[in-house]
Amino acid sequence: MTRRFPQEGSYEWTLWDDAELNAWAHQQAMATLMEEYDWERCFFTRGGIHAWGRKLIVHQNRRYAIVNATDFRNPFEEHAWECREDGQIGNLPVKPHAPWRRGVEENKRNPQTAVELLQALPQRSARQLRDLGEVEHIRQLAGRLKERYMTVTWVPAPFWRNHHYETWGYAQLFTMLYDDPALVKQATEIHLYNAIEELKAAQWAGAEVVAIDEYFTSDDEIGLNHFLEFSLPATEKLIQEAKRLGLYVVFEYGGDALSRIDHFKDLPADAFWVEEASKQGPIDIGEVRRRLGDKKVLLGNLCNKDFLYKGTPAAVEEEVRRQIEVAGRHGYFMMSTGSASARAPIIENSLALLRATKESGRPQ
């Protein structure tokens, strides 16, 4: 069986379900989907580099499903779940990686200066990450599945790691863009180094695809000049390094994508994902396709809340057909949801998503 990323002329579909899931309900849903569409297995993962989650692209018969389960309950406990040979979900423990995070929590109660927080940031090489066992779950899963599945790791873009990894926090970060821009650039360079080393470690462990995401840089968060000076150059360097390592890249942009798409559309990523319209205003997937062009893979942004949780199968099917029509007929397209999930969707709506994509997604 040949594993590959979407190519010209392909109309793949995905279920992109990024979730702290009701595990039983979701397992039942996926079991139903596997039976319906002849999937042999579905693998769930929890944990990943920096304990924030990772994704697997499960490949079968030129169909992709991206399933991600992220543990939001305790970010200090890193672990992964694997599907054993007997098909049961089992626990694969992974060594906790970041005692410095606990220090960050303490710093919230006993604030330090921005410089002290910056100095507390760890810098670890790919070799150190490997020796610490932080990519062992990737190595084990990829080693077992490499003949059938593509394993995806997840690495946040450098600039927003200043907030995401709680270097300073949201408010302080954006204040420092004006008060001490040199320090922000210094921190972003550290995060870029760490991100590149994470890529190297994950690639060594067997990852073939990386999802690089970026948030808090649309025009409702920071100005265009700040975006071009602090965020975009570091993101581009990270994607270039991922490509140099031979990884496929999915660039995920959270926020008002249309306000930045003219700048990030030329990034050397293989695929692009944007958030759903209900969260960020009118992010129409057809307009995203028009401005992105037809040479890049685009993932859909079907709204979880309005369709999978509160909608009907008929409404889901109608939206899937609409997205494929406006975004999938003139470019490479993978049907997807446009946000993380906080719970399992209605099974019938998930089935409608896959059924409509399968029926509508064939080349005409």
In this structure, what CATH number is given to the domain that contains residue 240? 3.20.20.210
Bridge-partner residues for 80, per DSSP? 92
Last residue within a domain, chosen from 67, 95, 123:
95
* Together in a domain, 75 and 142: no
Q: Where are the beta strands (DSSP E) in the chain?
A: 11-13, 16-19, 55-60, 63-69, 79-83, 89-93, 150-156, 209-214, 248-253, 271-274, 297-299, 333-335
Looking at the fold, whether 177 and 71 belong to one and the same domain comes out as no
Q: Is 154 helix (H, G, I), strand (E, B) or coil?
A: strand
Looking at the structure, tell me whether residues 293 and 176 fall in a common domain: yes
Quote the pTM value.
Answer: 0.73
Distance CA 305, CA 279 (A): 10
Q: Look at residue 90 in the predicted model and tell me its pLDDT.
A: 33
Asked whether the predicted pLDDT for residue 54 surpasses 60, the reply is no
**What is the pLDDT at residue 148?**
57
User: In this predicted model, what pLDDT tens digit does every residue of 260-309 receive, in sequence order?
Assistant: 999 999 999 988 888 877 665 678 999 999 999 988 888 888 887 788 77
Q: Are residues 178 and 133 in the same domain?
A: yes
Backbone angles phi, psi at 290, to 5 degrees: -60, -45
In a domain, 25, yes or no: no
Q: How many CA atoms lie within 13 A of 305 on its CB side?
A: 8
Q: Give Cα 18 to chain centroid, integer Å.
A: 8
Q: Cα–Cα distances in Å, from 230 out to 156, 224, 330?
A: 15, 10, 33
The answer to whether the beta carbons of residues 302 and 335 sit under 8 Å apart is yes
Residue 313 pLDDT more than 70? yes
Residue 3, domain member (yes or no): no
What letter does residue 346 receive in the DSSP assignment? P
Instruction: Report pLDDT for 296.
Output: 83
Distance CA 84, CA 97 (A): 24
What pLDDT, on the 0 to 100 scale, is given for residue 251? 92
* Beta partners for residue 155, in sequence order: 212
Domain count, the chain: 2
Residue in the structure block whose two tokens are 């039976």? 35
CB-CB contact of 117 with 172 (8 Å): no
The answer on 210 and 272 residing in a single domain is yes
Same domain, 83 and 133: no
CA distance 305 to 342: 10
Q: What is the DSSP string of 233-272?
A: HHHHHHHHHHHHTT-EEEEEE-S-GGGTHHHHTTS--SEE
- Rounded CA separation 312/339 (Å): 18
pLDDT band at 79 (very low <50, low <70, confident <90, very high): very low
Give the C-alpha separation, 253 to 215, whole Å: 6
Q: Are residues 255 and 317 in the same domain?
A: yes
Q: What DSSP character marks residue 194? A: H
Residue 15 C-beta-side C-alpha neighbours within 13 Å: 31
Express each pLDDT in 106-157 by its tens digit. Answer: 444 445 577 777 787 888 899 998 998 878 767 876 776 666 556 777 788 9
Report residue 333 as tokens. Answer: 């397209």
Domain of residue 333: give its range: 111-360
The answer as to whether 339 is a domain residue is yes
Residue 206: the pLDDT is 87
**Co-location of 50 and 198 in the same domain:** no
How many angstroms separate the most distant Cα atoms in the chain? 62
Q: To the nearest 10°, the Cα dihedral for 269, 273, 275, 280?
A: 50
**Is residue 298 one of the residues assigned to a domain?**
yes
Same domain, 303 and 213: yes
Q: Is residue 15 part of a domain?
A: no
In a domain, 105, yes or no: no
What is the Cα–Cα distance from 264 to 286, expressed in whole angstroms?
A: 17
Which pLDDT score, from 0 to 100, does residue 361 have? 55
- pLDDT value of position 334: 76
Q: What is the pLDDT of residue 233?
A: 98
Query: Do both 85 and 205 map to the same domain?
Result: no
Residue 300, in any domain of the structure: yes
CA pair distance 307, 315, nearest whole angstrom = 7
Q: Is residue 149 in some structural domain?
A: yes
pLDDT at 178 over 60: yes
CA–CA separation, 159 and 163 (whole Å):
8
Same domain for 214 and 70, yes or no, is: no
> Would you give the DSSP letter of residue 52?
S
Give pLDDT, residue 120.
Answer: 78
pLDDT exceeds 60 at position 73:
no
Same domain, 167 and 75: no
Q: Indicate the burial class of 262 (C-beta count within 10 angstroms; 0-12, 13-18, 19 or more).
A: exposed
